[in-house]
Amino acid sequence: MGNFCGGVGTNKVENSLSYQQETSGIANVHNRNTYYSALSSPKLLANFEEKVIRSPPPPRSEGDILSSPNLKAFTLTDLQNATRNFRPDNLIGEGGFGDVYKGWIDEQTLGAASSSQGMVVAVKKLNPEGFQGHQEWLSEVNYLGQLHHPNLVKLIGYCLDGENRLLVYEYMPKGSLENHLFRRGAQPLSWALRIKVAIGAARGLSFLHDSEQQVIYRDFKASNILLDSEFNAKLSDFGLAKAGPTGDRSHVSTRVLGTQGYAAPEYIATGRLTARCDVYSFGVVLLELLTGRRALDKTRVGLEQSLVDWAKPYLGDRRKLFRIMDTKLQGEYPQRGAFMVALLALHCISEAKLRPPMAEVLATLEELPATTKLGNSPSQSEQQITSDLTFGSPFRDNERSPTHVTPVGSPFPLHMNSPAYMDTRGSPLPSHMNSPHLKILEG
């Protein structure tokens, strides 16, 4: 499942002017104080303020990007020493960018260190024959040199030496979500860990979307979600990230870049990029967490090759959901919580205008019932939710399992079941997320 590119032209790398336009998104706005002395009236000042706020930030030059005070400029020799000359047994990953090696540097000086004393880092080395090139490398330096959040991987520094382009990150000992879900022989992730990973990834995406200058990640997928020793998720690989629309623009027009199976269909069709494209990709990853299947699997036959196409008919029906749940979970998951995640995934992959913003996706995930009780028997918190929503149901308590819930027995948190959040069918999702195009079947 590789990256793809499309659109007008055959070059994989855009020219430098196009790149400056793409990487201008998180540049600092010019200091407005230098202009205030020329503004003689409050009205002029107000008009000027509005123009400054609405105008897109100025492009950052390559020199500005590489002079970031937050990053160390490594020499090639530094990184050869840190990785033991990129020894094969230090290889820890491969991707569209190139190979990733384990290395060791001194925590204080950031120079090469021994494996017994140094800080472990991940060194990503650009493959000149690979999918990504200098512009993607520079984009990553641009964004991760400025953006800092617990759910974004930390970029320590870079190396630009002739044809060699490398990036140095914090080391993520648990590897990628992709490996945990799909690698043969991997220890299956528990339901609790899957939700923890989803919440962490949602926090990272929400941060990008809600930043002062919005950033669209554009390549959200399981292989780009890295896990630390406590399974905290962090987003990596910002080579395809792009500044979001500014002013009254609703989208950014760009050539199509991303990964098959994860990219939003309207983006593939039109090249119009919005934050909702990331929401779609997030919904696909939720499906991977639910089913244990890849977004695109060409070893399967027909409809089953596309995870979205195969899973969609089951997501809104709690009676059928078990048919697509990951068998590696061995039934060890709360059915009510699984149904909530399925409904959320369904809305994330729905028509673009109906997708919820990432902030709402995150809020829904964080409101999942905190329960360790699994199988058919609802936990105390789930029983309370059901009790509050059945409005004097004639069923006995032991009949309020997920297979006996009445049509108004929504599995969602109480704050999402007020009249402001519910349609006439008692859908448990926010009103803007309800649509005749999305048929939700209650068990």
| Binding-site residue ranges | 125
Question: For residues 443 and 440, what is the distance between their CA atoms, to the nearest angstrom?
Answer: 10
Task: Measure the CA–CA gap between 193 and 217, rounded to whole angstroms.
Answer: 23
Angle at 362 (CA atoms; ends 341, 294), nearest 5 degrees: 50
DSSP annotation of 91 reads E
Binding region for ATP: 125
Q: What would the two tokens of residue 116 be? A: 């017994």
Q: Report the distance separating Cα 133 and Cα 207, nearest Å.
A: 26
Phi-psi region of 302 (alpha: psi -120 to 50; beta: other; left: phi over 0): left
Residue 259 neighbours by CB under 8 Å, 6+ apart: 1, 2, 3, 4, 219, 221, 295
Among the listed residues 219, 237, 278, 326, the single catalytic one is 219
CA distance 214 to 242: 9
**How does DSSP assign 258-309, residue by residue?**
EETTTS-HHHHHH-EE-HHHHHHHHHHHHHHHHH---SB-TTS-GGGGBHHH
Report the alpha-carbon angle 236-241-245, nearest 5.
145
- Class of residue 161 by CB neighbours under 10 A (exposed 0-12, middle 13-18, buried 19+): middle
Question: What CA–CA distances, in Å, run from 65 to 23, 137, 138, 166, 386?
Answer: 10, 11, 8, 15, 54
Residue 263 near residue 277 (C-beta atoms within 8 A): yes
Q: Is residue 219 flagged as an active site residue?
A: yes
Where in the sequence numbering do the catalytic residues fall?
A: 219
